[in-house]
Chains A and B, each alone.
Chain A
Amino acid sequence: MSTASAAAVVKQKVEAPVHPMDARIDELTDYIMKNCLWQFHSRSWDRERQNAEILKKTKELLCGEPVDLSTSHDRCYWVDAVCLADDYREHYPWINSMSKEEIGSLMQGLKDRMDYLTITGSLNEELSDKHY
Chain B
Amino acid sequence: MPHHEFECSKVIPERKKHAVIKGKGETLADALPQGYLNTIPGSISERGCAYCGAKHVIGTPMKDVIHISHGPVGCTYDTWQTKRYISDNDNFQLKYTYATDVKEKHIVFGAEKLLKQNIIEAFKAFPQIKRMTIYQTCATALIGDDINAIAEEVMEEMPEVDIFVCNSPGFAGPSQSGGHHKINIAWINQKVGTVEPEITGDHVINYVGEYNIQGDQEVMVDYFKRMGIQVLSTFTGNGSYDGLRAMHRAHLNVLECARSAEYICNELRVRYGIPRLDIDGFGFKPLADSLRKIGMFFGIEDRAKAIIDEEVARWKPELDWYKERLMGKKVCLWPGGSKLWHWAHVIEEEMGLKVVSVYTKFGHQGDMEKGIARCGEGTLAIDDPNELEGLEALEMLKPDIILTGKRPGEVAKKVRVPYLNAHAYHNGPYKGFEGWVRFARDIYNAIYSPIHQLSGIDITKDNAPEWGNGFRTRQMLSDGNLSDAVRNSETLRQYTGGYDSVSKLREREYPAFERKVG
Contact = CB atoms under 8 A, between A and B. Distances in A.
A46 B262 CA distance: 12
A117 interface: yes
A50 B164 CA distance: 34
Contacts, number: 113
Interface stretch (A92-100, A102-110, A124-132): A124-132
Interface of A is mostly: helix
Given A34-B373, A76-B276, 13 more contacts: A13-B29, A35-B286, A72-B274, A72-B297, A75-B297, A79-B294, A83-B293, A118-B28, A122-B29, A123-B29, A125-B365, A132-B263, A132-B270
B489 interface: no
Interface string B259-298: 0001100110010011111111000001001001110110
Interface in A60-114: 72-73, 75-76, 78-80, 82-83
A35 B283 CA distance: 11
Contacts of B32: 122-124
A38 B369 CA distance: 12
B369 A4 contact: no
8 contacts: A3-B37, A41-B262, A75-B275, A79-B292, A82-B296, A122-B29, A132-B185, A132-B262
Interface residue range, chain B: 35 or more
Contacts of A37: 258, 278-280, 341, 370
Contacts of A73: 273, 275
A117 B173 CA distance: 28
Interface of A: 1-4, 6-7, 13-14, 16, 33-35, 37-38, 40-43, 46, 72-73, 75-76, 78-80, 82-83, 116-118, 121-126, 132
B173 A123 contact: no
A118 B181 contact: no
A40 B275 contact: no
A16 B26 CA distance: 12
Nearest to B251: A72
A125 to B, nearest CB: 6
B29 A2 contact: no
Contacts of A16: 27, 29
Interface string B183-213: 0010000000000000000000000000000
A124 B34 contact: no
A3 B373 CA distance: 23
A4 B37 contact: yes
The 10 closest A-B pairs by CB, nearest first: A121-B29, A76-B275, A33-B373, A79-B293, A123-B32, A37-B278, A132-B266, A124-B365, A79-B296, A34-B345
Contacts of B378: none
Given A42-B266, A75-B297, A79-B297, A126 B37 contact: no
